[in-house]
Amino acid sequence: MNTAYGLVAIVIVCVLTLAVGAFGLRLSRTTSDFYVAGRTVTPYRNASAIGGEYLSAASFLGIAGLIYTGGLDMLWFPVGYTVGYVVLLVLVAAPLRRSGAYTLADFAEARLESRAIRRMCSFLVVGIGWLYLLPQLQGAGLALRAVTGSPSWLGGLVVAAVVVANVAAGGMRSITLVQAVQYWLKLTAIAVPAFVLLAFWAGDGAPGPAVLTTDPGWAQPLHGLGGQGHPVYATYSLLLALALGTMGLPHVLVRFYTNPDGRAARRTTLTVIALLGTFYLFPPVYGFLGRTYLPELPHGTAPDTVMLSLPGLMAGGTLGDILSAVLAGGAFAAFLSTASGLTISVAGVLDQDVLRGWLARLTAQDATAVQGFRLASVPAVLVPYAVSLVVEPVGLATMVSLAFAVAASTFCPLLVLGAWWRGLSTVGAGAGLVVGGLLAAIAVAATVLAGPIDGWPGALLGQPAAWTVPIAFATAVVVSLATPGRIPRNTSRTLVRLHSPEDLALEGRADQPAPPRNRSTISGRS
């Protein structure tokens, strides 16, 4: 690849991100603007923004790399990513918006009337957010190294700097504009080179992947997933993690608080499903073409960079350089948009539950929400960046799937039971969070630190959702049944609020449960 073309594409994406964010800064005035964009985002713009932040490094580069190495079984990843929004639409999209919360921790506190549950949720939001940020920063390093030969740490640093600048400046309203633009930028960047490369492939007589002669199982079902064995279990566990983990991802949930009402939240989700389905048509094309024109990776080359290498191999010359640069720019848009959404979520929790009180004690006066939010955005990005420098990459999509497993094992039971079951007690919810979180964290740590493990232990730890999610649900239900006296006093009224249309004007009723805590704003209005 021509280094100059690649650098120009990446610089354009970064400058465009900062420019759109600066425009959004002019619109951010209150706390609501910073946390939930004033709750005025239309369904179609919000759907584009969700697509922008959801289509991460794992989607843009990782899926192609997985299909290249593991075969057609890896198509379950984009299927699971999209199905997750169907589950979210059916179960929690509208109730979450009607809760009136700013963050997931706010929802948990309002539903369960417990500060302890709020602290648990805050801890998990930060942990899941950092776990998901890690592959974004590592992916940026891989992409920039593939384009320019620079050290891996530089790409992550560029992403971290741009994200902090945007998030600290304009909050959710600014990031909404950025992510909506970046979805269409990513779709264009992945689709246009795909059509051009398919034309070259057809012109070559439409050859098939060379791997079919040396490894026929590449195209066979239940072959590539579950590398150490037990592919049937691995497939079902992966789908469970992706389908149920989506509703537990903090950067996904916070976007539903930006809709005007529950009906708009549902329309947003339907549009997101269409946008994701369109995007996921293209990564498999690169995996297939990679196996056709690059049967073996050069030594030291990560599978996640196959997409960036293909234009040079197939088209060559200036056209190949331009197409590679377009893909590199799209990849950086993916890193920036997902990292921005995650940073918003983590910074919001750090601001409300950690830094606000510390700032007040330090300055002997109340800190505004925006001051704390801006300060919190720095550790929200720098901590996972520091970890990315010392942890070896295990594959972008693999790391993201582990984050999904943790989210499915913790927030999925809390949200589903909290939104639909009157019998959920505070103790039961806490027990489910602790048990599901610990089991999933142990599996993630073993997978990242110990590397591949053979047999059933490797399958159970590499894809833990099939056993951690049922255990978390069962724990929450059993403990709740054993502690009926700890069911929140206002449960019935809270559930009425979650499931009643907004036009019934429940806000004016005297028996409505209290909304989340008031927060100060730039202008002093609440």
One pLDDT digit (tens) per residue for the chain, 526 residues? 568 888 899 999 999 888 887 776 665 555 555 555 556 677 888 889 888 888 887 788 889 988 998 888 888 899 998 898 889 888 887 788 788 776 788 889 999 999 999 999 999 999 999 988 988 898 888 888 888 888 888 989 999 999 888 777 666 667 778 888 889 999 999 999 999 999 999 988 888 877 776 677 788 777 767 555 788 898 899 999 999 998 888 777 777 667 777 677 778 888 988 999 999 999 999 999 998 888 888 777 788 888 998 999 899 889 999 999 999 999 999 889 888 888 888 888 888 777 766 665 555 444 455 677 778 889 999 999 999 888 877 667 777 888 899 999 999 999 999 999 999 999 999 999 999 999 999 998 888 777 677 788 888 988 899 999 999 999 999 999 999 999 999 999 999 988 887 666 444 444 444 444 444 333 333 2
Length of the chain: 526
| Assigned CATH topology for domain 3-501 | Sodium/glucose cotransporter (1.20.1730)
CA distance 67 to 328: 19
DSSP E strands in 277-389: the ranges are none
338 Cβ contact list (under 8 Å, min separation 6): 53, 54, 55, 56, 57, 132, 136, 251
CA distance 122 to 112: 14
Domain ranges within the chain, ordered by starting residue: 3-501
CA angle 398, 71, 280 (to 5 degrees): 70
* DSSP codes joined into one string, 52-79: HHHS-HIIIIIHHHHHHHH-GGGGHHHH
Q: Which residue has the tokens 């940026």?
A: 140
